[in-house]
Amino acid sequence: MNTNALNVVICTYNRAEKLAKVLQSLMAAAMPQGVPVDIIVVDNNSSDATRQVVTEFSGSANPKLRYIFEAKQGKSYALNTALGNLSADIVAFTDDDVIVDPGFLTEICRAAQNHPGVSCFGGRVDAIYPEAAPDWMDLEGSMGFLKSALLDRDDGDCEAFYDTLSYSNTPAGCNMFFRREALEKNGDFRTDLGPRGRQFGFAEDTEYCRRLIDKGYRFFYIPTVIIHHPIDPVRLTKEYLSDWQCQCGKSEALSSADIPETTVFGIPRYLFRKALSHLLGCASADPKIRAFHQLRLAYSRGQIAGFMQRQA
C-alpha cells in the first residue's frame, strides 16, 4: 500500500501550554514530499485554552490541523472519536506533552513505504530528565519498570520486530503508527481503560496492541521515528510513582485475558504472597531497596483492586 496521506492523532485534556509545544514541533517538522498531513486534535472536555491554541495554529495547508471536541471524559473516548474521523491510510498516535523530532513525519512515511507488508509500527521515545534525580531511584537497575511511567523508551538503533526485542512486543502508546486497515479490523479502544480527566488510568494502548497481535499482526520498531519527552519533576516523586504503580497494576488486572485457577474471592493467590513479600521489604534500611518494595507493593495493591473490580 502506498503512503497517500498521513493522520497524526493527539488526544488532550487541559494541557494547552504543552499542546502548543507539540503542535509547534509538528508545524516545524519536515513535510513528506507529496503526502498530505492532517493533524487531528481531540479535545477531551478541556476547560483551559486548548481550543484557542489549536485555532492559533490553524491555517496551514500542509500540515492541516483539525479540532474535534469530545465531551465524554476519558482518553479512550477521545481515541475512539479520532478513529471515527480518520482520512488517511497511515495513522500515527502521539501525546500532548511531547516534542516530535524534525524527521518524525518523513520517517513515518519512509517506514510505511519501505515495509509494505507491515501494518503496525513503533518508534523511539527520548526521555529528557531534569538535572537531578532522587537518590532512591535506580532506573538502570531494579526500577527499570519506572521507565514506562516516564515515557523513556529506547529499543536501540536497529529496525526489528518488537517480538525479537527484550523489552516488550508492543510500542509506547505515545509513538505508534498503523496502516488504517489494521485499525479498522481492530475496532475501538476499551473505554474502561486509560486515563479519565485527571485520574490515572493505563493499558488502553497496550490492550489495543495486544488485540492486534492476537489477530496475527506484528509490530515493527523504527528507531528513526523519534519523539522527545520532557519529564515533569513531579513524575519523579515517590507519591506520583506509587499512584502510577497502583493504577498501572489495576489496569493490568482489568485488561488481563486470563485469571489463574487458584484464587481467593476471585483474586489470584500469588498476589497475596507478592504483597506480603513487598510489605516486608518496605522495612529495609537501604533507601533503594525500600523504595523498590514500596512501589511494587503499590502495584500489587492495584492488581488486587483490579481483580476485585472484575468480580463486581
Mean pLDDT of 77-98: 97
Show the cell assigned to 49: 485554552
Question: What's the average model confidence in pLDDT over 32-48?
Answer: 96
Distances (CA, A) of 256 to 19, 168, 176, 266: 32, 16, 22, 13
The percent of residues in the chain predicted with pLDDT above 70, rounded, is 97
pLDDT at 3: 66
State the pLDDT confidence band at 261, using cuts at 50, 70 and 90: low
Where exactly are the structural domains of the chain? 6-236, 241-311
105: its cell numbers: 513525519
Residue 126 has pLDDT above 70, yes or no: yes
Question: Over 90: is that where the pLDDT of 256 sits?
Answer: no
Look over the chain and give the mean of its residue pLDDT values, rounded to a whole number.
92
Residue from 233, 17, 228 nearest 128 by CA: 228
- Indicate whether 74 pLDDT > 90: yes
pTM for the whole structure: 0.86
What is the identity of the amino acid at 7? N
> In the numeric block, which cell numbers belong to residue 52?
484557542
State yes or no: pLDDT of 1 exceeds 60.
no
Residue 303: pLDDT over 80: yes
Residue 211: C-alpha distances to residues 59, 214, 216, 263, 265 (Å) = 37, 5, 9, 26, 28
Residue 291 confidence (pLDDT): 94
More confident residue, 161 or 134: 161
> What digits encode the pLDDT tens for the residues 203-253?
899 999 999 999 999 999 999 999 999 998 888 999 999 998 998 888 888
pLDDT of residue 39: 97
CATH code of the region 6-236: 3.90.550.10
Q: How confident is the model at residue 201 (pLDDT cuts 50, 70, 90)?
A: confident
C-alpha closest to that of 172 among 184, 155, 158, 187: 155
